[in-house]
Structure 1
Amino acid sequence: MKILDRYILITFLRTFFSVFIIFMFIFVLQGVWLYIAELAGKDLDVSVTAKFILYYMPKLIPLVVPLTILLSSIMVFGNFAENYEFAAMKSTGISLQRAMRSLSVFIVGLGIACFFFANNVIPWGEYNFYNLRRNIAKVKPALAIAEGQFNEIGDINIKVEKKTGDRGQFLESVVIHDKNTSKNGNYKVIVSEKGELKSSINSNVLQLELINGNYYEEIVNKDRQKNVNRPHAKSYFDSYIINVDLEILNNEDLDEKNYKGRHSMLNIDQLTYTIDSLEDRRKEDHKVLSKTLFNRTTYNALNSNFEPIKKDTLYTGEILDLFDTSKKVQILNLASNSASSTNQIIDSNKKNFESKAIWLNKHIIALHDKFVLAFACIILFFVGAPLGALIRKGGIGLPMVIAIVLFLTYHFFGIFAKNSAEKGTFSPIIGSWLSTAVMLPLSVYLTSRATNDKGAFEIETILNPLKKLFRIKSKALEESNLELEKNSEAFKTLQEYDNDKLINVIKNYRDFDYTVEYKNSAISILSLRGVTKQELKLAGNLTDQNYIETIRLKNEYEEDSKLALILYVIALIFMIPGRILENNKFPTEGNVLFIIGIVIFVIFIMALIKSFARHSDLYKHLGENKSMNAVLFLLLGLPLYFVFYFIQKIQITKLLKSNTK
């Protein structure tokens, strides 16, 4: 390895590991804070807490590693550019790609390592973390009676409105559901005004005394006919004591692992097998439903139940006319009942199919996420490295802001896409890859800009191709070569002027209400006197630079504002129908149109901002202080641009007329 490659790699690794440790520490603290309610008051050992953090850390890698790569690359390459180290490299013929070569190899290796980590370590961590949480939740439930919600303690579910006392032992408005292992459902309910926990908090027996309450128990008889009247037993009590044995619960084995059915706990082979099984099961469910619906139509029974009146073989009338009145009624009733029952079956199966589809989509997303992580590491590096070289700023400040903004954009795109894909709005494969696909063209663009020593972003690179697409041509200042007739009085008058007056006519012929023929004739007269056109141009007397600059700014404003108007109309054409389709049970088509409209609207905002800049420059050049405030410009321009465009066009035309008189 060459000295330069070693230097760049070591510099990057120092920054990378420093940033990685900081981000991991921050996210772990956030995770502990998120799950603090599950850890507090459980009297857990340090080893259990350490396991909790250890099992939680792998799931943070898909967040921490891409963010670390992005920030580290911006910081390192920004620092190189800020300290003119890149300038020194380029002076010796070393390009940006050559400087990134050693790091590119490292990042590719890191991406591969992240793939294997996501396939093996993250499922292991998820599996252990989830089971540890389940086991911790069962430890010392006597300490976990929360107010306003049902809490499972042993064989009872208890809810209290308020807890008082130094240990929270006094309870108010107590509701208890006593579970019965032999029957499903709540058959025994106890309600009391007050209650008190009399046993010690550390005791294995929880003694609960209830005061002033009612006891209700539903009696279930083996004879179903006797259950029609809902037999039950009800009694009132002044004091009622419940003892709950917590010894088994408090001796919960925190290392027990008996749940492994979540998609995040599976590797690629397991996910592939599960996805195939879920798809086969879904196909089978569809077949069963279709068969059920077909059987509900009683199509096969029609011929046996109804005998049509025999008529000609070729019959073009109403089918029901083949039957007598009583049979018609039976057929219509049968059709109505069949349609009603079919709708009920479909409605009852709809949510079931939706939940199964979501579960399948989650497995597909989990499968592709393992590959996405590897590619995300590589792509975000090629976003951060050239961006750092372009902004030429190292350290924590600006690079941190840029990295967080970019990563939040990447992350929110991923969350939005995955949530939509889980619900079936679009393919779960697209949902997994969308955020990375968004960053891919950005990485190519930034790398190209940094290689060619261009700015990070120029609006013209986006707007100019659109101007060509919509055939918005740049207007050039029209010049005429016509002159006054030699025998005309106007030409003779010009001949009587001295050179200074003729030069004044050339520069300010519009102020004298002269046409361009006067200017051209004055140039010809001066040429005959030995003053060439080139001399006039070098002296600044050939053209009115102020007027030319005014026309240039006006033309540029018209180009940008016209493009903004076109983009505004196109964005509305996509966004409004998109929302209409989404609200009329076409979510996929509606979302696609709306997203396209949003993208076009963002480009419209770029054109609007640029047109405002031209608008402001034009007014400043003319010495006017009436240029609209930027905020007002945007507030009016965004919702009402189709009106705003024509108003501004009329105002600028009037302004130019008043300034050219």
Structure 2
Amino acid sequence: MKIVHRYVLKEHLGPLLFAVSALTSLMMLNFIAKKFPDLVGKGLPWTVIGEFLMLSLPFTLAMTLPMAVLVATLHAFSRFASENEITAFKASGVSMQVLVRPVILSAVVLALGMVWFNDQVMPRANHRLAQLQQDIARVKPTLALNEQVINEVVRGSLYLRAARIESGSNRMHDVTIYDLSDPTTRRSILADSGQLAFSRSGTDLILTLYDGHSMESQANSPQRLQRSFFEEDRIAVRGIAAGLDRGSSNIGYKSDREYTICELNDRVRAAREPRDIAWRRLHLARNPGDSLATPPRERWPLADWYCALQTRLSGIGEVKEAQAATLAGPAAAASLGILRAVQDPPSRNDAPPPDYDSVVLEGLRFEYSSAQSQIDRYRVEIEKKFSIAASCVVFALLGAPIALRFPRGGVGLTIGVSLGVFAIYYVGLLVGESLSDRGLVDPAIAMWAANALLGVVGITLTARLGSEGSTHRGSESSEWWGRLVEGVKTKFARKAA
């Protein structure tokens, strides 16, 4: 039996590696098409461009690896069936569940590895990518310029607004520049178009403007306005880019995707304090006599179990309470301020407004919804890291039964089923995340619903392996449909008799 298991895994490994490479390459090509024009031709060394693309790879790999499991499973078992190897296994007394078992076990191992990858590798890569983008933005301002907004080119002295910036170039249209470098003079420049370039040294920014005019006024005589027109004008901004300074960016803020699971869980715990305070005050306001009610708690504390296991394995102590209090931040202080306002309302001499209670309650509702929204946002990211990893097992459960039931499907079956399952799964994730962000669905349910649905289908199909029909062209479903029609006819015939 070990020989059979090794053979199945060997036949599964090749398609898996090919599928990972192909799907990751396709998604990276899409990413490169969007980002490459912003990086090439701007004086950046190729090592920096390569690092930028490599740091973008972990997020892409986290999405494509579960897809590759499904593609590889469909391809491997479809080939077994089409070449009559399944018939040979059955003749040798090997059940289909035993044949599928090594693929499912390997998917479990892969899922555990993906949990570690999503928790440790991907957040760090995302954070380093954000730092690299900040470093590049300081060297090449075009990477930091946004259309239809006022961009700060030089802090406190030079601002630029462009209605449209051509992708992949430094060409701008409908340009407005606000020059505040001289406190005694206010100068505005409007141009039909413009070009951004750097000097040969790479440290000075050269703004070339076309078909425009400038307006200048003195602070001591604001009623006078000097206006001049030009066909071409150049503005030199000295020392704006002294070269790529790696490691100089100090990003204090992290997005949700830049935190590990335990860091996200710490922030969930910290946000519970202001939420619970607001909830208790709201509950007591509606039910004055009920002081023993407990605030709502999150279900399925998967992150708590994972972090407890990680703490035990690494030998690190529990998170200090002071750290959680620091993470709570101003939200807890705001809730405590509202709590004091409810406990100590204004005295009669202060003549409180008639709608004082409603204002306080509205503030409590806002504090509760704000803290709960923050908790839900963090929990969505936590559950997503686990659910995407678990999808490897779900796709393995789906792939083998479908391939064995349609053995002559070939490449068409692999592509068609893969696209259908991917669409159902990832649309389910997107819809679930949107519903959870709105507070309509619990984050755990939202992120695990697609896994649960496809997992039930996969388990059912895997359990029924070996009960296929006598031919290779969907006879099982045909026979089931025939039995159903025959049963309905018999039932109506008895009623008519």
Are the structure 2 counterparts of residues 236 and 375 from structure 1 closer, same or farther at C-alpha, using a change threshold of 3 Å? same
The AA in structure 2 aligned to 1:175 is: T
What secondary structure does 1:100 align onto? Answer: helix
> Aligned pair 1:62/2:62, yes or no?
yes
Shift of residue 105 of structure 1? Answer: 2.5
Q: Normalized against structure 1, the TM-score is what?
A: 0.55
> Aligned pair 1:335/2:354, yes or no?
yes
Are the structure 2 counterparts of residues 92 and 125 from structure 1 closer, same or farther at C-alpha, using a change threshold of 3 Å? same
Please say if residues 204 and 240 of structure 2, whose CA atoms lie closer than 8 Å, have aligned partners that are also in contact. no
Instruction: Name the structure 1 match of 2:203.
Output: 204
> Aligned pair 1:474/2:466, yes or no?
no
Structure label with greater radius of gyration? 1
The AA in structure 1 aligned to 2:26 is: I
Output one character per residue of 1:269-314: Cα deviation in whole Å (capped at 9) or x when no partner.
2222222123234446478458548848995523x579xxxxxxxx
Are the structure 2 counterparts of residues 457 and 213 from structure 1 closer, same or farther at C-alpha, using a change threshold of 3 Å? farther
Match of 2:160 among 148, 158, 161: 158
Instruction: Name the structure 1 match of 2:267.
Output: 274
Instruction: Name the structure 1 match of 2:418.
Output: 403
Are the structure 2 counterparts of residues 248 and 238 from structure 1 closer, same or farther at C-alpha, using a change threshold of 3 Å? closer
Shift of residue 374 of structure 1? Answer: 3.1
The AA in structure 2 aligned to 1:335 is: P
Paired residue total: 425
Shift of residue 394 of structure 1? Answer: 5.6
Are the structure 2 counterparts of residues 97 and 234 from structure 1 closer, same or farther at C-alpha, using a change threshold of 3 Å? farther
Please say if residues 42 and 139 of structure 1, whose CA atoms lie closer than 8 Å, have aligned partners that are also in contact. no
Match of 1:445 among 456, 460, 485: 460
Structure with the bigger percentage of strand: 2
What secondary structure does 2:408 align onto? Answer: coil
Are the structure 2 counterparts of residues 393 and 356 from structure 1 closer, same or farther at C-alpha, using a change threshold of 3 Å? farther
**CA–CA distance in 2 between the matches of 1:56 and 1:445?**
37
Output one character per residue of 1:441-461: Cα deviation in whole Å (capped at 9) or x when no partner.
111121133332255985998
Output one character per residue of 1:447-502: Cα deviation in whole Å (capped at 9) or x when no partner.
1333322559859989x99xx9xx9993224687xxxxxxxxxxxxxxxxxxxxxx
Shift of residue 37 of structure 1? Answer: 4.9
Instruction: Name the structure 2 match of 1:249.
Output: 241
**CA–CA distance in 2 between the matches of 1:478 and 1:143?**
77
Instruction: Name the structure 2 match of 1:137.
Output: 137
Shift of residue 126 of structure 1? Answer: 1.1
Output one character per residue of 1:599-624: Cα deviation in whole Å (capped at 9) or x when no partner.
xxxxxxxxxxxxxxxxxxxxxxxxxx
Please say if residues 170 and 197 of structure 2, whose CA atoms lie closer than 8 Å, have aligned partners that are also in contact. no
The AA in structure 1 aligned to 2:263 is: Q
Shift of residue 242 of structure 1? Answer: 5.0
Shift of residue 196 of structure 1? Answer: 6.6
Match of 2:440 among 425, 434, 438: 425
> Aligned pair 1:414/2:429, yes or no?
yes
What secondary structure does 1:130 align onto? Answer: helix
**CA–CA distance in 1 between the matches of 2:435 and 2:140?**
40
The AA in structure 2 aligned to 1:212 is: H
What secondary structure does 2:464 align onto? Answer: helix
Are the structure 2 counterparts of residues 294 and 37 from structure 1 closer, same or farther at C-alpha, using a change threshold of 3 Å? farther
Please say if residues 154 and 249 of structure 1, whose CA atoms lie closer than 8 Å, have aligned partners that are also in contact. no
**CA–CA distance in 2 between the matches of 1:234 and 1:172?**
29
**CA–CA distance in 2 between the matches of 1:283 and 1:232?**
56
Match of 2:397 among 366, 382, 406: 382
Instruction: Name the structure 2 match of 1:570.
Output: none
Q: Normalized against structure 2, the TM-score is what?
A: 0.72
Match of 1:258 among 225, 245, 250: 250
1:315-354 equivalences under 5 Å are: 334-335=353-354, 338=356, 346=363, 350=366
Output one character per residue of 1:345-368: Cα deviation in whole Å (capped at 9) or x when no partner.
749x84x86565444322212222
Please say if residues 157 and 178 of structure 1, whose CA atoms lie closer than 8 Å, have aligned partners that are also in contact. yes
Shift of residue 416 of structure 1? Answer: 0.6
Output one character per residue of 1:556-581: Cα deviation in whole Å (capped at 9) or x when no partner.
xxxxxxxxxxxxxxxxxxxxxxxxxx
Please say if residues 190 and 216 of structure 1, whose CA atoms lie closer than 8 Å, have aligned partners that are also in contact. no
Please say if residues 38 and 137 of structure 1, whose CA atoms lie closer than 8 Å, have aligned partners that are also in contact. no
1:441-520 equivalences under 5 Å are: 441-453=456-468, 458=477, 474-477=491-494
Output one character per residue of 1:214-270: Cα deviation in whole Å (capped at 9) or x when no partner.
246999xxxxxxxxxxx978732327975422x353423244452262221222222
Are the structure 2 counterparts of residues 265 and 299 from structure 1 closer, same or farther at C-alpha, using a change threshold of 3 Å? closer
Please say if residues 386 and 447 of structure 1, whose CA atoms lie closer than 8 Å, have aligned partners that are also in contact. yes
Shift of residue 395 of structure 1? Answer: 3.8
Shift of residue 38 of structure 1? Answer: 3.5
Please say if residues 212 and 236 of structure 1, whose CA atoms lie closer than 8 Å, have aligned partners that are also in contact. no
> Aligned pair 1:105/2:105, yes or no?
yes
What secondary structure does 1:115 align onto? Answer: helix
Are the structure 2 counterparts of residues 38 and 255 from structure 1 closer, same or farther at C-alpha, using a change threshold of 3 Å? farther
Output one character per residue of 1:172-222: Cα deviation in whole Å (capped at 9) or x when no partner.
754224579x9xxxx967243568769865453335587533246999xxx
Are the structure 2 counterparts of residues 261 and 118 from structure 1 closer, same or farther at C-alpha, using a change threshold of 3 Å? same
Unaligned runs of 5+ in 1: 220-230, 307-330, 481-661
Please say if residues 204 and 241 of structure 2, whose CA atoms lie closer than 8 Å, have aligned partners that are also in contact. no
Shift of residue 26 of structure 1? Answer: 0.7
What secondary structure does 2:190 align onto? Answer: strand
What secondary structure does 1:93 align onto? Answer: coil
Instruction: Name the structure 1 match of 2:81.
Output: 81
Are the structure 2 counterparts of residues 196 and 102 from structure 1 closer, same or farther at C-alpha, using a change threshold of 3 Å? closer
Higher relative contact order (CA 8 A, sep 6+): 2
Are the structure 2 counterparts of residues 216 and 5 from structure 1 closer, same or farther at C-alpha, using a change threshold of 3 Å? farther
Are the structure 2 counterparts of residues 39 and 200 from structure 1 closer, same or farther at C-alpha, using a change threshold of 3 Å? closer
CA RMSD between the two structures:
4.3
1:18-33 equivalences under 5 Å are: 18-33=18-33
The AA in structure 2 aligned to 1:365 is: V
Please say if residues 205 and 236 of structure 2, whose CA atoms lie closer than 8 Å, have aligned partners that are also in contact. yes
Are the structure 2 counterparts of residues 197 and 80 from structure 1 closer, same or farther at C-alpha, using a change threshold of 3 Å? closer
1:518-597 equivalences under 5 Å are: none
Are the structure 2 counterparts of residues 75 and 359 from structure 1 closer, same or farther at C-alpha, using a change threshold of 3 Å? same
Are the structure 2 counterparts of residues 426 and 127 from structure 1 closer, same or farther at C-alpha, using a change threshold of 3 Å? same
**CA–CA distance in 2 between the matches of 1:163 and 1:427?**
41
The AA in structure 2 aligned to 1:383 is: L
The AA in structure 1 aligned to 2:103 is: L
**CA–CA distance in 2 between the matches of 1:456 and 1:216?**
86
Are the structure 2 counterparts of residues 143 and 69 from structure 1 closer, same or farther at C-alpha, using a change threshold of 3 Å? closer
**CA–CA distance in 2 between the matches of 1:218 and 1:385?**
78
Please say if residues 161 and 174 of structure 1, whose CA atoms lie closer than 8 Å, have aligned partners that are also in contact. yes
Are the structure 2 counterparts of residues 195 and 55 from structure 1 closer, same or farther at C-alpha, using a change threshold of 3 Å? closer
Instruction: Name the structure 2 match of 1:190.
Output: 188
Please say if residues 70 and 403 of structure 1, whose CA atoms lie closer than 8 Å, have aligned partners that are also in contact. yes
- State the identity as a percent: 20
What secondary structure does 1:213 align onto? Answer: strand
Shift of residue 82 of structure 1? Answer: 1.7
Are the structure 2 counterparts of residues 261 and 16 from structure 1 closer, same or farther at C-alpha, using a change threshold of 3 Å? same
Output one character per residue of 1:493-538: Cα deviation in whole Å (capped at 9) or x when no partner.
xxxxxxxxxxxxxxxxxxxxxxxxxxxxxxxxxxxxxxxxxxxxxx
Unaligned runs of 5+ in 2: 278-330
Instruction: Name the structure 1 match of 2:116.
Output: 116
Please say if residues 197 and 209 of structure 1, whose CA atoms lie closer than 8 Å, have aligned partners that are also in contact. yes
What secondary structure does 1:424 align onto? Answer: coil
Output one character per residue of 1:598-651: Cα deviation in whole Å (capped at 9) or x when no partner.
xxxxxxxxxxxxxxxxxxxxxxxxxxxxxxxxxxxxxxxxxxxxxxxxxxxxxx
